[in-house]
A and B are shown apart, each in its own frame.
Chain A
Amino acid sequence: MKPYTDHTSVAALMDRSNVDTDQIIPKQFLKKVERSGFGAHLFHDWRFNADGSENAEFELNKDAFKDARILVAGDNFGCGSSREHAPWAIEDYGFNTIISTSYADIFFNNCFKNGILPIVVSRRDLDQLMQEIRTNEGVRFSIDLPEQTITTAADFVVKFDIDEFRKQNLLLGLDEIGMTLQNADKIASFEARQQQTHPWLWK
């Protein structure tokens, strides 16, 4: 996983709540066995017309948002399915940061496995961030993960919380499985104990 590095990028506005994983990556695109190439299908049913042309009404198709690496969206982003194809599509499309008031649990976890930083901010802060984009589409925000801040072009600074373990994993691009397997002896002890106390689980 690529380490997350601080950046100043265009922030795209998706002023919708409850954006579900079926919209982020519709199921017809889940049949691939590879991890790559999902960005082409991000928000497919909203992004494209029936004839395959770009839907000019869809917010992410605006020219101002084309180089966006930050996605600012409404409550409960990523609700629905556990499909990790959703963050794969988001990351492959070019976003590495999402800003919202809340996320669905499984989607939130999946982001951290893919170098995406899902920032949680207050309702008031989200409203102000969204308003800044509305009045100045193409505006850039600076994300500083070590300091845990978002700084906008209008010098509005939002401080966010993040679990320290997750923060370090993002910054270092760590292989979580490798870290867990460093505890292989403890896993083995647990299994040996369970085989004694709950032998039927091992038959």
Chain B
Amino acid sequence: MKKTMYEKIWDDHLVHEPDGQAPILYIDRHLLHEVTSPQAFEGLRNAGRPVRRTTANLATLDHCVPTKDRHLPIKDPIARKQVETMIRNCADNGVQLYDMESPNNGIIHIVVPEHGFVHPGMTVVCGDSHTATHGAFGALAFGIGTSEVEHVLSSQTLRQKKSRTMRVHVEGELSEYCTAKDIALSIIGHIGTAGGTGYVIEYTGDAITRLSMEGRMTLCNLAIESGARAGLVAADEKTFEFLKGREFAPQGEDWDRALAYWKSTVSDQGAEYDTEITIDADDIVPQVTWGTSPEQVIGVDCKVPDPQHIVDEEKKKACADALDYMGLQASANITDIAIDYAFVGSCTNGRIEDLRAAAKVAEGTTVAEGVTAIVVPGSYRVKQQAEEEGLDKIFLAAGWQWREPGCSMCLAMNGDELKPGERCASTSNRNFEGRQGKGGRTHLVSPAMAAAAAVAGQFVDIRQK
């Protein structure tokens, strides 16, 4: 029987399907951070249960950590307690943690691939919706809640219902000015924030296979924003090349055995998906979200929608409410929208290729008057590599702030935040009301687009130079 990648991984991990109960799925890797784990460890303690398999876990501190003055204690006492609790929980339970002093510290979904902890064919979970990132490796990776974190820690399994499969096929030539971020936003614009609900998406097509591993991570990271459980990209030579030699990658004889298995995880030719959609990469232009949902997105050469032209009552109201929150006029040109902040970073776009793309635009320029621009490398390894390449000097010379790693302004839990009414060109993943600070206005874009906006003080069609 021909199977899709999802079906193969599911079948390989099904432990047992008790009568009348949800199936039990084995979890190969569990990732942790400080925000969604404390209550899970507390639950373990209360129930007197140990962590079943300590080495299957890897933890970091990312959401609450400051990106400057890290030598000082964390200002917010509640955040400080949460970080200290994580450190204690990991030490007590034998879970490896990359704390703030570790040279391996960074955002969990940036750090984990750096160490080759996730391989094709694995099941991977974390108390974080952007766990979908690791689907770039052909692993079934998804976000879970804290009760499920406790379930995984206790049993190394999860109760799961099987998802349906969706194939998103992206063919054609992507413009040199467009990136995986633009492909991802385009897809969400097409299918909506609930278009993928109930599905695991597999991304296929030559525009996908041409993406680098980092590009694939950006793409899969945003699968959750279309409502999908997870995103998947088939493992190929790029995947194997990326993994070879990394700390947790198979070594020696194991490498050959693993490689043979990895190659077998890809979807069979002729396997059927429950739904398929096709997108033409040639049609994709640099994307900018205008509203308060990732699905409220448009090409940079377009105008902000006019609610008057929308027929569906609910969509009309959603558009009007979003414009009101975002302080935008209907039919305004995207390229006329001025910004106050530019943020390059996050688990979506905080890797070395993202920093290079932003630096290429920033080089030799100056941040516009009245604009604050910050770069937050996704991890210390990214930061170090960027400094070896001189990217930090490029950004600093252009008037950007060069920060320490962390989730930072993506969700503004650590003090990096917008003031009410401030508008940000952001390389992160969500533009919900208040996401980057109460009253903050977020526009999601690619790194080059964020950098160009920082220079011009407003959005720029980077294809016109």
Q: Which A residues contact B (CB, under 8 angstroms)? A: 17-18, 20, 22-23, 26-28, 30-35, 45, 74-76, 79-85, 87, 102, 104-106, 109-110, 113-114, 163-166, 168, 176-177, 179-181, 183-184, 186-187, 190-191, 194, 198-201, 203
Complex CA–CA separation, A106 to B47 (angstroms)? 24
Residues of chain A within 8 A (CB-CB) of B293 are: 18, 20
B133 to chain A, nearest CB (A): 13
Find residues 72-113 in chain B having any chain A CB closer than 8 Å to their own CB: 76, 78-79, 81-82, 85
Q: Please tell me if the beta carbons of B129 and A187 are within 8 angstroms of each other in the complex.
A: no
Report the nearest A residue to B74, measured CB to CB.
A31
Cβ-defined contact, A187 with B155, below 8 A: yes
Residues on the B chain within 8 Å of A84, using CB: 36, 39, 127, 145-147
- Is B150 among interface residues, defined by CB-CB distance under 8 A? yes
Chain B contacts with A in 56-71, Cβ cutoff 8 A:
63-64
* Cα A87 to Cα B145 with chains together (Å): 10
| B197 A109 Cβ-Cβ under 8 A | no
- The distance from the CB of A14 to the nearest CB of chain B, in whole angstroms, is 13
Over the window 26-60 of chain B, the binary record of Cβ atoms lying under 8 Å from chain A Cβ atoms (1 yes, 0 no) is 10100000011011001100010100000000000
A82 & B144 in contact (Cβ 8 Å cutoff): yes
**A-chain residues with CB within 8 Å of residue B143 when the two chains form the complex:** 81-82, 106
Residues in chain B near residue A79, CB distance under 8 A: 193-194, 227
Kindly list the 6 A-B residue pairs having the minimum CB-CB distance in the complex, ordered from nearest. Answer: A84-B145, A200-B250, A82-B143, A113-B147, A33-B38, A110-B145
Closest B-chain residue to A175, C-beta based?
Answer: B47
A30 to B151: give the CA distance in the assembly, Å: 20
Query: Which residues of B sit under 8 angstroms from A176, Cβ to Cβ?
Result: 147, 151, 159
- Can you list 10 residue pairs at the A/B interface with Cβ under 8 Å? A22-B433, A27-B435, A79-B194, A80-B430, A84-B146, A85-B146, A186-B16, A187-B26, A187-B156, A199-B257
Interface set of B (CB-CB < 8 Å, partner A): 15-16, 18, 20-22, 24, 26, 28, 35-36, 38-39, 42-43, 47, 49, 63-64, 76, 78-79, 81-82, 85, 119, 122, 127-129, 142-148, 150-151, 154-157, 159, 161, 193-194, 197-198, 227, 229, 250-251, 254-255, 257-258, 261, 293, 314, 318, 411-413, 430, 432-435, 438
What is the CA–CA distance of A80 and B82 in the complex, to the nearest angstrom?
Answer: 22
| Residues in B neighbouring A190, C-beta threshold 8 A | 15, 26
Partner of B154, one of A34, A45, A110, A181: A181
Residue of B whose beta carbon sits closest to that of A180: B155
Residues of A near B119 (CB, < 8 A) are 201
CB–CB A83/B161 < 8 A: no
Q: Which residues of B contact A201 (CB under 8 A)?
A: 28, 119, 122
Contacting residue for B20 out of A17, A164, A180, A194, CB 8 A: A164
Residues of chain A within 8 A (CB-CB) of B254 are 199-200, 203
A144 CB to nearest B CB, Å: 21
Is the CB–CB distance between A83 and B20 below 8 Å? no
A111 closest partner in B (C-beta): B145
* Other A-B pairs, 12, CB within 8 Å; known A76-B194, A106-B143: A26-B438, A31-B76, A31-B78, A35-B39, A74-B314, A79-B193, A81-B143, A82-B128, A105-B229, A177-B151, A184-B155, A200-B257
Q: Are the CB atoms of A27 and B82 closer together than 8 Å?
A: no
CA A181 to CA B36, docked complex, whole Å: 22
> Closest approach, in angstroms, between the C-beta of B13 and any C-beta of chain A?
8
Q: Once the chains are docked, how many angstroms separate the CA of A181 from the CA of B159?
A: 11
Q: Which of B18, B39, B129 contacts A80 (CB 8 A)?
A: B129
Q: Which residues of B contact A186 (CB under 8 A)?
A: 15-16, 24
Rounded to whole Å, the gap between the CB of B348 and the closest CB of chain A is: 14
- Assess whether A109 is in contact with B148, with CB atoms less than 8 Å apart: yes
Q: Contact between B198 and A105 (Cβ–Cβ < 8 Å)?
A: yes
Inter-subunit contact B250/A177 (CB<8 Å): no
Contact B227 A104 (CB under 8 A): yes
CB proximity of A183 to chain B, nearest CB, Å: 6
- Which residue of chain B is the closest to A112 with respect to CB atoms? B147
CA distance A30 to B198 in the complex (A): 27
Contact (Cβ within 8 A) A27 B26: no
Query: Contact: A22 with B145, CB < 8 Å?
Result: no
Chain B residues near A82 (CB-CB < 8 A): 36, 127-129, 143-145
B432 engages A187 (CB within 8 Å): no
